[in-house]
Amino acid sequence: MTFTRTMAHGPRVAGNGRRDLAARENRARRLASLVPLLALLGGSAAGLQAYTVDYAVSGSFGSPISGSDPLNLSGKSFLITGSLSTTATPTCNAGKGYSTSTLKISIAGGSPLTIASGCVTIDAVNSQMTVSGNVTVVFISVPFSATAKLPPGTLPSSVPFEFGSAAMQAGSTATYGDTPTTLNISGTVSATTTAPNISASPSSLSFTMQQGGALPSPKTTVVSTSGSTVTVTATASTSSGGNWLQVSPGSGSTPATFTVSVILGSLTAGVYNGNVRFTSSQAKNSPINVPVTLTVNPPAPTISASPSSFAFSYQQLGSAPPSQGLTISAINSGPLAYSISVSTSSGGNWLSVSPGGGTTGSTSETVSVNVAGLSPNVYSGTITVTAAGAANSPLQLPVTLTVTAAPNLTASPGSVAFAYTIGGSVPAGQTVAVGSTGSALSFSVSASTSSGGAWLSAAGGGTTPSNVTVSVNAGVLAGLGAGTYNGSVTITSGGAGNSPLTVPVSLTVSALPLLTVSPASLVFAYQTGGSVPGAQPVSVGSSGSALTFSVSASTSSGGAWLAASGGGTTPGVVSVSLNAGVLSGLGPGTYNGSVTITSAGAGNSPLAVPVSLTVSAQPLIVYGPSSLFFAFAVGGSNPAPQNISLSSSGAPLNFTVSTSASWLSASPPNGTTPGNLSVSVNPSGLGIGTFNGSVTITAAGAGNSPVTVPVTLTVSGVVNLTATPASLSFLYRVGRPRPSAQTISVSAAGASVAFSASTSGGTWLSATPGGTTPTNVTVSVDPTGLTEGAYNGTVTISSSGATNSPLTIPVTLRVTQSATLVAEPETLSFAYQIGDKNLVQRANVVLTSSTGSLIRFSTSSSAEPWLSVAPPDGQTPGTIVVSIDATGLVEGVYTGSIEVSGVGAANSPLLIPVTLTITVPDPAISVITDAASLLQGPVAPASFVTLWGDWMGPEEPVSLQLTPDGTRVATELAEVQVFFDQTPAPLLLVQARQINAIAPYYVGQRSKVKVHVVYRGRKSNEIELPVAAAAPAIFTSDQTGVGQGAILNQDNVTPNDEAHPAEPGSVIVIFAEGGGQTNPPGLDGLIAGTDPLTLPRPALPVSVLVDGVDAEVLYAGAAPLSVAGSLQINAVLPLGTRPGAVPIVVKVGSFESQPGVTVWVR
């Protein structure tokens, strides 16, 4: 194969000497025919020199254009010099000149010349007049053209004028052959004009308005002519008041209508004059003026209200809306007396104004509403203000009152069930999501049982939306016999219309193992006349030993459309199907049935699996599975995403997707069937327990839209409570103010759990009730009535979701009448953000005696190396300096104390708690590049990208991890996640300043996408990237994006480089990325298999250019056992490729890889 490079040149044209010579000879022959004419006029062909005379004018031209002869040409004489023309007969085109019937030229000493047809053209720009035509001498007709230059300004318009007869003299110079000859013509020029007059009707205009009022309506005037149509221009001017006058349009042809308007409304009272001038260069009496008068009268008194409207809103069971103020003012007048009345369109007399009248500027009005007895609705009313003498009286002010129903509490799920096998594990806690149908509601929660004792507990409360943790008390559970126990969780809110809301709870206790099923329910959808939906499996298991079971199916309507087969010993599978014969006879609607699992050895037998069937004549959303289950162990990796397949029973359906919980997400957010949804969970911040959510799929035109897929997330693992500080100490001196309250910070490692707080030791000790971690418990003491001495108590922190519950915090109260050391402040808190320069911080503590006496003291710090105190000793009153040094500390909360020992002090030693909180900045992305090319640009589905920034992960790099099933690259690594919009990306490497990730396939549905990082729960800034169908890039051996490509030679082992060049005609293996969507559609982070027939391949065509020449592509697709998005291309080096490092480019569709990548050729 040979490669030929061509270069295009612009055309080059050479002169043709022969053609030029022939043209000159022809022109000479034509001019030679004029020699007899020269002899007739007395000229000579010999001895005359050719010359050129500048155009000139003899005679004066009078005043500027006006009157019946705008050009003032009558009786004037001209000397016109020019040249004879032999090219063509001039014509008078429209807009260029007017023809004349006959022009005559008198020639001194000779006979008159006749211009058979002539054309007169006026050029105002250059102030010149041109006459042209054919001059007939004897029997020879010669084309003639001559131009006269006129004084500047003589011609105001380039519009031609029609001339009558004229006699003209001119001198012309021409060259005949090689002999120059001059033709002299003399005479006079005269002309007359037939320009019409213009007039305007009406010839004057007047306007009237009120100061500050509306502008007067525009008026019109019509401009017409006494003769032919002319073009008129219009301009407006004023003599005072600014530019208040306007005329439109700016020009028109007669008869023309012009609109005159007043455009300025800020004029004060008075009379203003203006003028509209109409001008036409074709009219004899141009210009004409239309005088305009504007009379502005003083403003009339008016009243105004502030505000000018009122809106009240009230939610039932809430507080009544507050009254609102109203001020009535007079404008352009002194104080005015006014009165107020009110009216309502519905709801009775709910509107009032007090006092309801007075004098402007001195009376304040109050507008109130009475909501008693009003049902939810929108009510309208009017406040009417009346003032004699006000131009805008009566003034009406609209009032709206919106009454809404109290929001209702919601709870999901609506019921909770526990099952317990005697001697087995305690059932895990479950979560109930509490929400509101309207505004946020404050709520509390309690648990009760109807039998079995206090086996049920509930923790939570606060403000919606929030979660309540429902759990079984292990201590009570151990004493329960076999049976079914019922209880309830009660959610109470004073602002809810349906409070209290009860969530039923059941507990099944059995000495026998329990049946388990997955999924817990089934959904079928059938389109009339379509295919019968396929069977669905139900897995049957046991909580203990294996169980023998049987299965049956039943329906509540529609006949025997449901069938089930299976049975045997757990674990087993039951196949649930539809009876085609019965199905074909069902009309549109929803049918319910159940599959019953029966086992004589099970404590919960029989167990029913609900089944629903939707029949519709419209296409139906077909989806599977019908429910999803995720499991997460605290401290482990996030569960891998799961897919929901979507299709239609008929024509394709456009769908949208939404989720019900913040920990649940699904992508893409919309699409067209068939397709897949990727469902992910993020258990960060969730406590131990079972969490329920759902994915809702909506499709317009679908007979079963929307459909809901339940999602269950089980969070398990060890959760430990922590409480800081570990003990509390209070000091009270009789007669002094009681000690300030102190706080205990309660948190839980790995999750958020609900807890309660209680106290013991006496009524002098109290604590706030608790909440959900992380939060604070406030501890207070009341020493009233206590005598001198030491008192001990405890604060107990309890949580059913924590393995180390309960925690006990000792509390000591000293009551004394002796002198005590007093520290101000009593505690110290320092904060440091890693990266700040202020590593060392200091704080002063003032030490005094409670009685004012002198106390000598010594100081020391706890063993923490970051904490110090100075001076080592002193006396009261005195100041000590506490210092912290954050050098080398990592993120976290550090606690220590300063000990002050006072000689004779009742509270010696005095401990001053010190807390140091070390934080890191929020992650920050500075730039995002392609991981292979290191260039910024569009991102494509499954592109490899590198995020550059700070604080995006741990200092030491962490490489990719696979999901627990080993099939995908994880989307969370070392507490780092990267999101494209809300879709997580597979992570290849994370560290503080660099993250390598793979863009999810979801981006292919967007034109642009926003990228952010979440590290340890902190979110970075967002960077927006454009999206392309493909963004190919070749990996390079030194990872710089240029130079030697990551390429293997034909043996598939040896890397291509200078020492190992490839032979032309051999196969090379190129490693790249950015190929975009694949066939079959790609799944984020999926590890490819090894079967070449099933490996995904780019949906767009792939080609390779080596040194600009197409190379044959043998294979382009996923590399075996590589992550989705990686691209392997096997190509043949073209024969004849020049040796050395030559450029190589990969194209996917029309998208090319980065420049500067090379392959070595032998």
Tens digits of residue pLDDT in 638-677: 777 888 878 888 889 999 999 988 889 999 999 998 888 8
**What DSSP letter does each residue of 154-192 carry, written as one string?**
S---SS-------B--EEEEEEETTEEEEEE--------
pLDDT (tens digit per residue) in 521-574: 788 888 888 878 877 878 788 877 888 999 999 998 899 999 998 888 887 778
> What CATH number is given for 1033-1161 in this structure?
2.60.40
DSSP 8-state secondary structure symbol assigned to residue 1019: E
Q: How far apart are CA 1136 and CA 1065, in angstroms?
A: 9
Torsion sign (Cα): 524, 525, 527, 530: negative
- Of 637, 422, 628, the closest CA to residue 508 belongs to 422
Residue 172 has pLDDT above 50, yes or no: no
Does pLDDT of 1072 surpass 80?
yes
- Backbone φ and ψ of 118, nearest 5°: -130, 165
pLDDT tens digits, 15-27: 333 333 333 333 3
Tokens describing residue 533:
């939906």
pLDDT averaged over the chain?
Answer: 79
Query: Which tokens in the block code for residue 687?
Result: 């406590």
Per DSSP, the chain holds a count of helices (H) and strands (E) of 4, 93
Alpha carbons 630 and 640: distance in angstroms, whole number: 8
Please write the tens of the pLDDT for every residue from 313-329.
888 877 788 999 898 98
Return the higher-pLDDT residue of 6 and 361.
Answer: 361
SS (H, E, C) 822-836: EEECCCEEEEEECCC
Which of 841, 758, 774 has the alpha carbon at shortest distance from 806? 758
Domain 924-1026 in this protein, CATH class: mainly beta
pLDDT tens column, 560-613: 999 998 888 887 778 889 998 888 889 888 898 989 999 988 888 888 888 888
664, 627 Cβ separation under 8 angstroms: no
Q: Mean pLDDT over residues 852-862, rounded?
A: 89
Residue 795 above 80 pLDDT? Answer: yes
Please give the Cα distance from 104 to 944 (Å, whole number): 91
pLDDT of 191 above 80: no
Architecture of domain 302-404: Sandwich (2.60)
pLDDT at position 176? 30
- Residue 1139: strand, helix, or coil: coil
- Residue 923's H or E segment, with its range, is none
Q: Residue 188: is its pLDDT beyond 60?
A: no
**What's the Cα-to-Cα distance from 152 to each of 98, 147, 168, 738, rounded to whole Å?**
22, 15, 22, 105
Q: At residue 162, does pLDDT exceed 50? A: no
Q: What is the mean pLDDT of residues 842-851?
A: 91
Task: Answer yes or no: are the C-beta atoms of 255 and 223 closer than 8 Å.
Answer: yes
Would you state the torsion angle of the CA atoms of residues 381, 387, 391, 394, taken in this order, to the nearest 10 degrees?
20
pLDDT over 70 percentage in the chain? 82
**pLDDT at position 146:** 55
Residue 859 to residue 672: CA distance in whole angstroms: 74
Tell whether the model's pLDDT for residue 35 goes beyond 50.
Answer: no
- pLDDT higher than 70, residue 123: no
* Lowest mean pLDDT across 128-137, 686-695, 710-719: 128-137
Ramachandran region of residue 213, left (φ > 0), alpha (ψ -120 to 50) or beta? beta
Reduce the DSSP state of residue 1162 to 3 states and report it. Answer: coil
Please give the pLDDT value at position 122.
Answer: 55
Q: Output the pLDDT for position 177.
A: 35
Residues in contact with 556: Cβ distance below 8 Å, sequence separation at least 6, in sequence order: 591, 592, 593
Q: Distance between CA atoms of 793 and 952, rounded to whole angstroms?
A: 45
> What pLDDT shows up at residue 1121?
87
User: What distance in Å separates the CA atoms of residue 705 and residue 658, rounded to the nearest whole number?
Assistant: 13
Residue 286's pLDDT band, with cuts at 50, 70 and 90, is: confident
Check residue 844 and give its pLDDT.
Answer: 95
Distance (Å, whole) CA 722 – CA 893: 12
pLDDT tens for 369-378 read 999 888 888 9
Residue in 941, 938, 947 with CA at minimum distance from that of residue 1085? 941
Sorted by where each begins, the domain ranges of the chain are 20-184, 198-297, 302-404, 411-510, 534-583+591-609, 924-1026, 1033-1161
Q: What single DSSP character describes residue 968?
A: B
Q: How far apart are CA 842 and CA 158, in angstroms?
A: 90
Classify domain 411-510 by CATH architecture. Answer: Sandwich (2.60)
Q: Which residue has the higher pLDDT, 98 or 716?
A: 716
Collapsing DSSP to helix, strand or coil, 138 comes out as coil
- CA angle, residues 838, 843, 848, in degrees to nearest 5: 175
- pLDDT of 339 reads 95
Are the folds of 924-1026 and 1033-1161 the same?
yes
- The CATH architecture annotation of domain 198-297 reads Sandwich (2.60)
Q: Is 684 helix (H, G, I), strand (E, B) or coil?
A: coil
